[in-house]
Structures are given as C-alpha cells and as structure tokens.
Amino acid sequence: MSTVLVETVKPQTGEPTIFADQDLPLEQRTDVTVDELEKMSLPMPAELYNGKVVFKMANPLHSAIQAAVSGEIYIYLKQKPIGMVWTEAHFKLWPERDDHARIPDVSFIVKERLPKDWLHYPAMAPDLAVEILSPTDSFEATMEKVDEYLRQGTQIVWVVITSTREVIVCTAEGKHFVKNVLTAPQLLPGFELPVKTIFAGLDNP
C-alpha cells in the first residue's frame, strides 16, 4: 500500500512533523479531522466534508472576482473599522463536528465576534460569506452550502454568478437576484458595491 506523508512545521519549534494518512492516499480518506487538516501543507484551499478533503479549484476569473469583492470591503473597513474581511479562511461551522470545515471565497466578521485565536479554524459562521460560482461549479452544491451558512448563523451570503454577471443575495428571509448594487445595511452600514465593479475588466475572460 502507498502512504502519503504530509509535512508541516510546528510554530513553536520550527521542527517538521510527519502525519501518516492511515495507508490511504489523502483523496481516498474519509476520516480526516479539522485538527489534522489545519496541520496539512496542501497545494490549494480545501474544505472538509464528512472527513473527506475536497479541494477548491480557482481559475484566474474566480481569483479576480475574489480580489475585487474583498478589496472593496477592505477599503470600506479602512474608513469604518467595524470588523475584518478575510479570503479563503476556514470555518468550523459545526463546533461539535470535527469532520466538517467550510472555506468561503470571502468572509466578513463584525469586530465583536472576531475570534481571539487566529491560528486555528474558528468554531463559528461568518457574518457575511461570499461564494463565487464559476461555470464549472455545481449550482445545486453551492446553494446547499449557502443554506449551511444560513442555518449556522451567517446573516448574508452573496453568490456571485460569473456566467450571467449577477449576484444572488441570500438571507434567512429569502433569496433574490441583484444586477445593480449590493448593500448590507445591517452589517456594513453605508457600503455600496455596484455589481459591474465586481466584473470590471472581465468582459472577455
């Protein structure tokens, strides 16, 4: 049997630590835990579904949109420091489950809820989550993930649809399409993000 070894570095000592994968390649395992995932040096961002590592494959279009959305929120927060915006940060949405972790493309947390430990996945849901839906992504799977965020306490989820240049705004009250301006008055007072700004320069990807 082949054994995949994942090398990480201990923050305290700088000494390498080796983790065996129980004699199975990582992509075949269904027993990975959040604690183990935190220590892995993976080639790309990955989520954890029932103990299975699922990689997120970002293309340049996806990355450009992610940078645009997070950048606009970051600029807003420089003027109104009411929280923190992150990209590709893991969240342990179910604190009682050690085999699940999600990683929104962009997330925002209000200052009062910011975790004190920045070295481990916070056991919480972000206040705002953004998912970028590329043409190769499953709409159904993305919307299932949206519902997970909302059930666990996320107030707003924006689903950016690259193929139609619009955004689905999702809350516990419902979902609707936006093609003009995104706002989130209950989280980001006064913040406005024209949808066309998200796709600026990407008319011919």
Which domains does the chain show, CATH number per domain? 5-46 (no CATH), 60-198 (3.90.1570.10)
d(CA 14, CA 141): 39
Pairing, β 156-161 against β 128-133? parallel
Q: What is the mean pLDDT of residues 93-120?
A: 93
Q: By the 8 A CB rule, do 53 and 29 touch?
A: yes
pLDDT digits (tens, 9 = 90+) for 41-95: 787 888 889 889 888 877 899 999 999 999 999 999 999 999 999 999 999 999 8
Q: What is the pLDDT of residue 12?
A: 46
State residue 28's pLDDT score. 78
**Average model confidence (pLDDT) across the chain:** 86
Q: Using the predicted structure, report yes or no on whether residue 125 has a pLDDT greater than 60.
A: yes
- What is the average per-residue pLDDT within 156-181? 96
Dist CA 135 CA 16 (whole Å): 39
Q: What is the pTM of this model?
A: 0.83
Distance separating alpha carbons of residues 121 and 103, to the nearest angstrom: 10
Residue 149 pLDDT > 90, yes or no? yes
Amino acid, res. 22: Q
* DSSP conformational letter for 113: G
Tens of pLDDT, residues 2-17: 323 333 334 444 444 3
